[in-house]
Amino acid sequence: MAFAPKAVITSRREAAPPPARDLEQEIALAARFVRQHVIASIYHAGSGHPGGSLSCADILATLFGAELNTWPGSPHDPMRDRFVLSKGHAAPALYAVGAHHGYCDKLASLKLRKFGSPFQGHPHIGDLPWVETSTGSLGQGFSVALGMAMGLKLQNSSARVYALLGDGELQEGEVWEGAMCAAHHKLDNFCAIIDYNKLQSDARNDEIMRLEPLAAKWRAFDWAVAEIDGHDVSALLKTFRRAGATHDRPSVIIAHTVKGKGVPYMENMPAWHGSVKLTREQADDALTALGATHKEIREYLDGV
């Protein structure tokens, strides 16, 4: 971890008390809900990306549960923090965490990827106003988030901007354009989180296009870098707090995760990245592994 020393304390987060134990538990529960909801919605859709949706569940649950100053009732509040899912194919996880926190309806958001449903395969602001920008083409969400951070700073807003990126996404040059730009403009209200699950579409990053030494890359692009376990809620909470206090530099959190986390037969399997079809049995197994009761499973899979 290499965040800049907190020379000046500016973040409102500084004043907040340290996260309580029960907050962590709340977040863990939310993450479990997210994972279950992801499986159920992809099952109903007959397609969708489970691996990368599961790997970022804890990150999303932490962001929406504790870090983001956003309110479901006022998606247009100019003071709100902004979150951008740059790895837009993890839309099911975004919809799930949104449903958990009241941004959208739980049942409706199970209707994923269907015609007429606002829950498209990739998040679309035109359908869901609380989605800050439409994504699905890797690299772009990061740049859009950067633009938000720049624009908020220009307007002296204290709102912060968060972008969640995939590791494979870092192969897009646009990300390094943005990395250079955010550092140059000292966007310390900007925090990128890398869902570092080591897998991309077809295989391991190492096979497709090596990313290591990853922290060194971000450091050389002049970002404050933290490396943590992306499933450790307590570490996530602490690291977000530190990022919020970083001065004069944007922060990146390299969150080591497991693709497919929580569903044993999916974990670390590239085959479960892609747009896949889940059988009833697979969905059942996954939900069981994710701690759903028989009743809950029936509700998830038959109640829609």
Q: Using an 8 Å Cβ cutoff, are 193 and 164 in contact?
A: yes
* 87 is an interface residue for ligand TPP by CB under 6 A: yes
Which lies closer to ligand TPP via its Cβ, residue 168 or residue 244?
168
* 120 is an interface residue for Mg ion by CB under 5 A: no
Structural tokens at position 268: 């670390």
* 75 is an interface residue for another protein by CB under 8 A: no
Q: Least distance (Å) from ligand TPP to the CB of residue 80? A: 25
> DSSP string of 206-257?
HHHS---SHHHHHHHTT-EEEEEETT-HHHHHHHHHHHHH--SS-EEEEEE-
CA distances, 266 to each of 50, 53, 118, 188, 226 (Å): 8, 11, 27, 36, 27
Exactly one of 41, 62, 70, 134 binds another protein (CB under 8 A); that residue is: 134
Task: Give the one entry of another protein, a second copy, Mg ion, none that residue 59 binds, where binding means its C-beta sits below a cut-off of 5 to 8 angstroms depending on kind.
Answer: none
* 213 is an interface residue for a second copy by CB under 8 A: yes
| Token pair 């969400």 in the structure block, residue | 141
Q: Using an 8 Å Cβ cutoff, are 190 and 149 in contact?
A: yes
* 82 is an interface residue for ligand TPP by CB under 6 A: no
| Token pair 């919020």 in the structure block, residue | 244
* 217 is an interface residue for a second copy by CB under 8 A: yes
| Interactions with Mg ion, residue window 186-245 (CB under 5 A) | 197, 199-200
Distance CA 201, CA 52 (A): 10
| Interactions with a second copy, residue window 131-170 (CB under 8 A) | 139
* 2 is an interface residue for a second copy by CB under 8 A: no
Q: Least distance (Å) from ligand TPP to the CB of residue 259? A: 6
> What's the per-residue H, E or C state across 124-177?
CCCCCCCCCCCCCCCCHHHHHHHHHHHHHHHCCCCCCEEEEEECHHHHCHHHHH
Which lies closer to a second copy via its Cβ, residue 71 or residue 176?
176
* 152 is an interface residue for another protein by CB under 8 A: yes
Exactly one of 58, 81, 132, 167 binds Mg ion (CB under 5 A); that residue is: 167
Q: Using an 8 Å Cβ cutoff, are 290 and 262 in contact?
A: yes
Exactly one of 6, 10, 106, 174 binds another protein (CB under 8 A); that residue is: 174
Which lies closer to Mg ion via its Cβ, residue 62 or residue 200?
200
String marking each residue 147-166 x if it binds Mg ion according to CB under 5 A: -------------------x
Q: Least distance (Å) from ligand TPP to the CB of residue 51? A: 6
DSSP state of 27: H
Contacts of residue 126, defined as CB under 8 A and 6 or more positions apart, other chains included, come to 134
* 90 is an interface residue for another protein by CB under 8 A: no
* 220 is an interface residue for a second copy by CB under 8 A: yes
